[in-house]
């Protein structure tokens, strides 16, 4: 720590500092912060190891056949339960979510980044966006439950779940789209204006094509987050449905809600079904993240 | 430099033709409409929560009372709601005190903060001040994976590993307590673990924003790395660090699936960390599991609890915004 050296001459510069203690203190501190950094890594390792172990035990000891697991629908009987209905429901849900959130999200981002004047309305929209990003996901579920499922009487259907998830990921899509638009150099815009193009022509023909890979990357990452969201789906009543939904107006239970239903069962067989479901869910998320990273790397240098 | 002012053939004066200008204005309006949707979302959340929460307190929604003339019948007083110590709206002898579930949320949040704040801050210090470039480039993405894992998976981790394998044996060996399927402490642990990356990455950003001149100045005075970390970097980055804490706390308050599967469904106020408790979000999940029809007290209570939850996280977010603005001002 700081020491009073005003009276010290050169040779006793460190006279009142115990250097040994200073070294020890530094080493202990490094040990502490290093251990803390490793804590997160170890926790992640344990989590993945636990799921991998349960997956393995499920396949070997509980004789869960992976092929049957992926091609059967859910069931109250543990030995007949499969994941097909949930997988199809989740994919359908992602389609609805992507459709609903992409255009509105990208549109909002273009407005905020390219058109918005610096006034009170813009500040309000931006502050509101920051707050929306912090709203707990379960609250979006409540909104969809009261307004859509019961308010206009749509029932617990895929579309209602999709709206809840679309509203949930909207702030993420907007922020990532804004970043992608910001990454387009201003010189490109000015060049377009110089040829007499309007703002909208510039955006549509010059800025958007250049920003599109970044926008897609952000959207896919947002969807990868949405596919694991459980609470909003539970609130709209997506639970205890086993079969494949026949369309966006059918009842459903997605992958995360099915995993929850299994994990909450007391039977060990169901717990291991949940572990296998989690492996499928994480694999799908990993794939989506992989696509996003691939897109980013492929187009990063060209912009 | 050319003095030519005549625009070439095909280039009209001004920017675009009149039709182009009209198209531009129309595009602008449509895009503005998109941005307004995000504001409408917030208004819709407020409206739905207040409207339905009113039906919990007075038996009719505000809209029902205004448009259909339905009377306000039941009375659940705010005194009962905010000070009652028993929470069982669905019970045969109902009780409407939110304190037990609010306690559950508070306990999990505080417990999780005791895990994520020290560990997250220390992790941020390690990454920002000590780690080499190559370690940093591996450690940061690894922790981001931790942030990307769905909460339901953390819930599974709690119910299949933390509670039976970690918490259970420790409680049995040290205190002779038999831990059931759920426990408060495993909820604290699992939410703490999942909020570590939020604390570490935002704190680390704040620490990175501290100019190197400050560090070098301290080194020139003979300070050690320990001194620089704790006496220079942390104070200089403090508002960003606090912002990360608030974000983590806000996330812990609204956390649903992990606490539901870790801490359980038993609404009670207890000091025993190994007992089963219920958070506000877990209560909402338990109602969603049942078949609570529209118009029942259980259904209406969802929104009263949801409103309290929303107000809690909203105030956290506003505080976070405020701190973030201060933090940006300092280094721009």
d(CA B148, CA A223): 12
Tell whether B160 and B177 lie within a shared domain.
yes
Chain mean position to CA A112 = 23
Task: Give the closest-approach CA distance of A154 to chain B in angstroms.
Answer: 13
* Burial annotation B236-251 (CB, 10 A radius, 16+ → b, else e): bbbbbbbbbbbbbbbb
**Average model confidence (pLDDT) for chain A?**
89
* Count of structural domains, chain B: 2
Give the pLDDT confidence of A16-52 residue by residue, as tens digits. 778 888 889 999 999 999 999 999 999 999 999 999 9
Res A5 pLDDT > 50: no
Of B27, B247, B256, the CB nearest to A231: B256
Give the pLDDT confidence of A89-113 residue by residue, as tens digits. 999 999 999 999 999 999 999 999 9
Residues of A in contact with B139 (CB under 8 A): 37, 41
Are A95 and A251 spatial neighbours (Cβ–Cβ below 8 Å)? no
Is B59 a domain residue? yes
Closest CA to A274 of A23, A58, A25: A58
Res A265 pLDDT > 70: yes
Closest CA to B143 of B200, B209, B188: B200
Are B253 and B316 spatial neighbours (Cβ–Cβ below 8 Å)? yes
Domain that holds residue B108: 82-330
Tell whether B221 and B304 lie within a shared domain.
yes
- Residues in chain B where the model's pLDDT stays below 50: 1-14, 332
Which positions 235-264 of A are in contact with B (Cβ < 8 Å)? Answer: 235, 237, 239, 256, 259-260, 263-264
CB spacing of B24 vs A107 below 8 angstroms: no
What ipTM was estimated for this complex?
0.90
Are B84 and B97 spatial neighbours (Cβ–Cβ below 8 Å)? yes
Q: Give me the pLDDT at residue A10, please.
A: 47
Q: Give me the pLDDT at residue B239, please.
A: 87
Give the pLDDT confidence of A106-158 residue by residue, as tens digits. 999 999 999 999 999 999 999 899 889 899 999 999 999 999 988 888 888 99
HEC profile of A178-212: HHHHHCCCHHHHHHHHHCCCCHHHHHHHHHHHHHH
Is B134 a domain residue? yes
Is B128 a domain residue? yes
Let me know the angle formed at the C-alpha of B103 by A145 and A271, rounded to the nearest 5 degrees: 60
CB spacing of B160 vs A235 below 8 angstroms: no
CATH code where residue B152 lies: 1.10.3720.10
Give the pLDDT confidence of B285-318 residue by residue, as tens digits. 998 877 667 878 888 999 999 999 999 999 998 8
CB spacing of A278 vs B156 below 8 angstroms: yes
Let me know the angle formed at the C-alpha of A74 by A68 and A75, rounded to the nearest 5 degrees: 105
pTM: 0.90
Tell whether B319 and B207 lie within a shared domain.
yes
- Name the band, by pLDDT with cuts 50, 70 and 90, for residue A14: low
- Name the band, by pLDDT with cuts 50, 70 and 90, for residue A301: low
Tell whether B38 and B86 lie within a shared domain.
no
Tell whether B46 and B127 lie within a shared domain.
no
Tell whether B214 and B71 lie within a shared domain.
no
d(CA B297, CA B90): 7
């Amino acid at each position: 720590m700081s020491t009073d050296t005003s009276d010290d001459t050169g040779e006793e510069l460190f006279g009142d500092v115990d250097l040994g203690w200073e070294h020890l203190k530094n080493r202990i501190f490094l040990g502490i912060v290093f251990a803390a950094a490793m804590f997160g890594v170890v926790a992640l390792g344990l989590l993945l190891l636990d799921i991998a172990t349960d997956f393995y035990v499920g396949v070997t000891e509980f004789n869960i056949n992976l092929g049957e697991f992926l091609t059967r629908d859910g069931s109250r009987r543990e030995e007949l339960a499969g994941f097909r209905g949930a997988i199809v429901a989740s994919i359908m849900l992602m389609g609805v979510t992507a459709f609903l959130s992409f255009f509105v999200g990208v549109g909002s981002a273009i407005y905020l980044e390219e058109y918005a004047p610096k006034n009170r309305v813009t500040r309000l929209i931006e502050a509101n966006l920051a707050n929306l990003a912090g709203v707990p996901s379960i609250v979006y579920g409540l909104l969809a439950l009261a307004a859509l499922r019961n308010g206009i009487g749509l029932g617990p259907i895929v579309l209602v779940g999709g709206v809840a998830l679309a509203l949930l990921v909207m702030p993420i899509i907007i922020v990532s789209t804004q970043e992608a638009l910001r990454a387009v150099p201003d010189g490109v815009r000015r060049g377009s204006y110089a040829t007499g193009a309007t703002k909208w022509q510039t955006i549509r023909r010059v800025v958007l094509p250049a920003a599109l890979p970044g926008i897609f990357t952000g959207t896919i990452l947002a969807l990868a987050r949405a596919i694991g969201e459980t609470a909003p789906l539970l609130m709209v009543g997506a639970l205890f449905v086993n079969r494949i939904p026949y369309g966006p107006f059918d009842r459903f239970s997605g992958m995360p809600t099915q995993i929850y239903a299994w994990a909450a069962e007391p039977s060990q067989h169901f717990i291991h079904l949940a572990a296998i479901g989690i492996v499928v869910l994480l694999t799908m998320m990993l794939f989506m993240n992989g696509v996003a990273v691939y897109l980013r790397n492929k187009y990063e240098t060209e912009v | 430099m050319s003095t030519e002012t005549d625009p070439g053939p095909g280039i009209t004066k001004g920017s675009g033709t009149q039709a182009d200008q009209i198209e531009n204005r129309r595009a602008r309006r449509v895009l503005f409409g998109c941005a307004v949707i995000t504001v409408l979302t917030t208004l819709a959340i407020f409206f739905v929560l207040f409207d339905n929460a009113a039906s919990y307190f007075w038996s009719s929604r505000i809209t029902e009372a205004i448009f259909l003339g339905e009377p306000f019948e039941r009375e659940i007083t705010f005194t009962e709601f905010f000070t009652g110590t028993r929470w069982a709206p669905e019970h045969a002898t109902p009780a409407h005190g939110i304190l037990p579930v609010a306690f559950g949320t508070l306990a999990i949040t505080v417990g999780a903060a005791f895990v994520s704040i020290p560990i997250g801050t220390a992790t941020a210090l390690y990454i920002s001040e000590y780690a080499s470039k190559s370690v940093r480039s591996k450690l940061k993405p690894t922790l981001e994976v931790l942030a990307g894992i769905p909460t339901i998976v953390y819930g599974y981790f709690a119910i299949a590993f933390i509670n039976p394998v970690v918490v259970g044996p420790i409680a049995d060996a040290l205190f002779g307590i038999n831990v059931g399927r759920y426990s408060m402490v495993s909820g604290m642990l699992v939410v703490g673990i999942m909020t570590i990356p939020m604390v570490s990455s935002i704190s680390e950003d704040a620490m990175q924003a501290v100019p190197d001149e400050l560090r070098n100045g301290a080194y020139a005075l003979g300070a050690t790395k320990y001194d620089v970390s704790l006496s220079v970097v942390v104070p200089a980055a403090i508002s960003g660090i606090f912002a990360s804490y608030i974000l983590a706390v806000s996330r812990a308050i609204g956390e649903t699936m992990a606490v539901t599967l870790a801490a359980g469904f038993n609404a009670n106020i207890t000091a025993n960390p190994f007992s089963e408790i219920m958070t506000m979000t877990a209560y909402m999940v338990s109602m969603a599991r049942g078949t609570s029809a529209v118009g029942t007290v259980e259904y209406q209570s969802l929104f009263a609890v949801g409103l309290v939850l929303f107000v809690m996280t909203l105030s956290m977010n506003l505080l976070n915004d405020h701190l973030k603005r201060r933090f940006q001002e300092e280094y721009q």
